[in-house]
């Protein structure tokens, strides 16, 4: 198991005797509570740089940092390496560090902006404004006109733009000189001139239009052919998954536009959520219940279930349904592959963990075999509300063994946190931190079994982004990291 950045930060704090507030890619930011100044620490615990300024240090990536100096209302900034060498000198300037670029940075000073690389080389000289257009291009404002530049600082074309636009997949929606909607390519060239007011190109080559007079929405293709008249109160493309559909709403009813056959499929339901095999979950506000319909709007599963979700296990799509204590897992023929009374306690990319007649099993969906997980008395169930677009699968499982001690198993039933605790408290949302109790005292681990604190606290409090730990009238804080649901890290 690879050591996490979170645990490295804990170890570096112990080794240096100072607070390491962050760590990634081989370096961290260290804070001295006596001098109240920051520095840089490497993976071995060596302080490679200590700032002499009142201010802070921000870690950008690897061995690149922003150094801040603050005196009164005056603030200066510099780009430095891990040893404090100034690659861009400390001046009255601010930096725009795009999360997607580790090659270019925008510096703002005295009302002008310029682009540099992270070695301090000037790429685009002072201009009125500069914005990232996409990962390898900029919009540069000169004399109230925007121009496209590449990453090497070369102007791509002489075309003038009214605004700085954002590109997605090499295309941008603009309003051109004739006040028309237009789609341009990465070089500013015209790809499509559009006769209607286009407001969304995320479903390209299908484009969402809006009538300026009525506010209603319609649909055209990139060749200006009208596919749907502007009569809908809302049109939403699919942003995730297979992106097969566009949803059109009117009078609290949804019509589905299927991209493959370019046909409309009216439906009587307000909310539709795609599953697999052209099926949809439908939901009622009044009953708080869900069912399943097909593309034609025919009811496939009655609207009487508490929870319905699509899961992909071993490369195959399944639909999970839950109603009270009843659970089903439907294959593509809509046949339930579970036994009556089975309960699913964990969904994972290659298998599931189920409870069958008071025994826990690792269950294969390919041959429906069930391998017993030995010496497990109880598994704490995870609330189904945990699952969303960011959390496609379950976390590792908090279990009690036959000796009434708690530990954690991964998707394969392998122990990743030993069975040595009186209790383990895992949180239902994205958190990677867990609270453990031993001999009446509390401590904090993560799912990688790394001790983030000692087990010495009298009580804990969960407060959204932080755990408060109390001992001897003193409080320590553990800030949550986000659990990425990537089982390869476990």
Looking at the DSSP bridge assignments, the partners of residue 20 are 30
What is the predicted pLDDT for the residue at 489? Answer: 34
Q: What's the chain's Rg over C-alpha atoms? A: 28
Tell me the HSE value of 22 on the side-chain side, using a 13 A CA sphere.
13
0.75 cut: is pTM over it? yes
Separation between Cα atoms, residue 282 and residue 301, nearest integer Å: 10
Separation between Cα atoms, residue 270 and residue 284, nearest integer Å: 8
What is the predicted pLDDT for the residue at 215? Answer: 97
pLDDT in tens, 264-290: 999 888 889 999 999 999 988 888 899
CA distances from 275 to 85, 262, 309, 312 (A): 54, 19, 7, 11
What is the predicted pLDDT for the residue at 482? Answer: 65
- Output the DSSP codes for 226-244: EEEEEEESEEEE--STT--
Q: Distance between terminal CA atoms of the chain?
A: 6
What is the predicted pLDDT for the residue at 302? Answer: 95
How many distinct helices (H) and strands (E) make up the chain?
1, 47
Run of H or E including 13: helix 5-16
What is the predicted pLDDT for the residue at 2? Answer: 66
CA distances from 319 to 121, 333, 486 (A): 54, 11, 22
What is the predicted pLDDT for the residue at 71? Answer: 86
**HEC per residue, 96-165:** ECCCCCCCEEEEEECCEEEEEECCCCEEEEEECEEEEEECCEEEEEECCEEEEEECCCCECCCCCECCCC
> From the centroid of its chain, how far is CA 423?
30
Separation between Cα atoms, residue 464 and residue 461, nearest integer Å: 10
Question: Average pLDDT in the 118-122 region?
Answer: 96
All structural domains of the chain: 1-91 (no CATH), 92-178 (2.40.10), 422-489 (2.40.10)
- Sign of the four-CA dihedral 365, 370, 371, 373: positive
Q: Note whether 485 and 391 are within 8 A (CB).
A: yes
Separation between Cα atoms, residue 136 and residue 133, nearest integer Å: 8
Question: Average pLDDT in the 444-448 region?
Answer: 94
Question: Average pLDDT in the 135-153 region?
Answer: 94
Structure-token match 């499509």, residue found: 192
Residue 1: pLDDT band (50, 70, 90) is very low
Residue 96: pLDDT band (50, 70, 90) is confident
pLDDT in tens, 3-62: 899 999 999 999 999 999 899 999 999 998 888 889 999 999 999 999 999 889 999 999
Question: Average pLDDT in the 66-77 region?
Answer: 91
Residue 483: pLDDT band (50, 70, 90) is low
Run of H or E including 215: none
* 219, pLDDT greater than 50: yes
Separation between Cα atoms, residue 210 and residue 261, nearest integer Å: 23
Run of H or E including 308: strand 307-313
């Amino acid at each position: 198991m690879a050591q996490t950045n979170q645990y490295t930060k804990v170890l570096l704090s112990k080794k240096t005797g100072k607070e390491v507030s962050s760590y990634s890619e081989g370096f961290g930011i260290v804070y001295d509570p006596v001098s109240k100044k920051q520095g840089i620490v490497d993976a071995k615990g060596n302080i490679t740089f200590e700032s002499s300024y009142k201010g802070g240090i921000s870690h950008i990536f690897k061995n690149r940092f922003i150094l801040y100096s603050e005196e009164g209302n005056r603030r200066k900034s510099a780009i430095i390496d891990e040893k404090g060498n100034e690659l861009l000198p400390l001046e009255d300037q601010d930096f725009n560090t795009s999360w997607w670029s580790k090659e270019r940075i925008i510096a703002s000073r005295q009302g002008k902006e310029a682009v540099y690389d992270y070695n301090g080389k000037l790429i685009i000289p002072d201009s009125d404004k500069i914005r990232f257009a996409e990962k390898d291009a900029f919009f540069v404002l000169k004399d109230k006109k925007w121009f496209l530049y590449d990453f090497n600082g070369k102007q791509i074309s002489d075309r003038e733009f009214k605004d700085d636009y954002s590109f997605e997949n090499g295309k941008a929606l603009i309003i051109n000189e004739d006040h028309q909607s237009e789609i341009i390519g990465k070089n500013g060239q015209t790809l499509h001139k559009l006769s209607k007011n286009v407001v969304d190109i995320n479903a390209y080559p299908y484009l969402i239009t809006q009538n300026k007079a009525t506010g209603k929405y319609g649909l055209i293709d990139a060749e200006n052919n009208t596919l749907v008249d502007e009569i809908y109160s809302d049109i939403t493309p699919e942003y995730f998954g297979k992106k097969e559909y566009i949803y059109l709403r009117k009078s609290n009813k949804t019509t589905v536009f299927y991209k493959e056959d370019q046909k409309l499929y009216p439906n009587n339901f307000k909310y539709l959520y795609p599953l697999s095999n052209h099926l949809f979950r439908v939901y009622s506000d009044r009953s708080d219940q869900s069912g399943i319909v097909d593309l034609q709007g025919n009811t496939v599963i009655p609207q009487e279930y508490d929870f319905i979700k699509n899961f992909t296990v071993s490369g195959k799509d399944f639909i999970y349904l839950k109603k009270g204590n009843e659970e089903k897992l439907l294959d593509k023929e809509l046949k339930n592959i579970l036994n009556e009374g089975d309960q699913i306690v964990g969904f994972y990319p290659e298998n599931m963990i189920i409870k069958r007649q008071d025994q826990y099993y690792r269950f294969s969906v390919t041959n429906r075999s069930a391998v017993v997980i030995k010496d497990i008395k109880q598994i704490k169930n995870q609330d189904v509300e945990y699952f969303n677009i960011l959390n496609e699968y379950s976390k590792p499982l908090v279990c009690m063994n036959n000796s009434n001690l708690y530990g954690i198993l991964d998707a394969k039933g392998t122990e990743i946190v030993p069975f040595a605790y009186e209790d383990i408290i895992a949180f239902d949302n994205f958190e990677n931190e867990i609270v453990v109790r031993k001999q009446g005292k509390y401590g904090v681990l993560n799912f990688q079994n790394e001790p983030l604190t000692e087990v010495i606290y009298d009580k804990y409090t969960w407060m959204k982004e932080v755990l408060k730990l109390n001992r001897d009238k003193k409080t320590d804080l553990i800030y949550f990291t986000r659990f990425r649901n990537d089982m390869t890290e476990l």
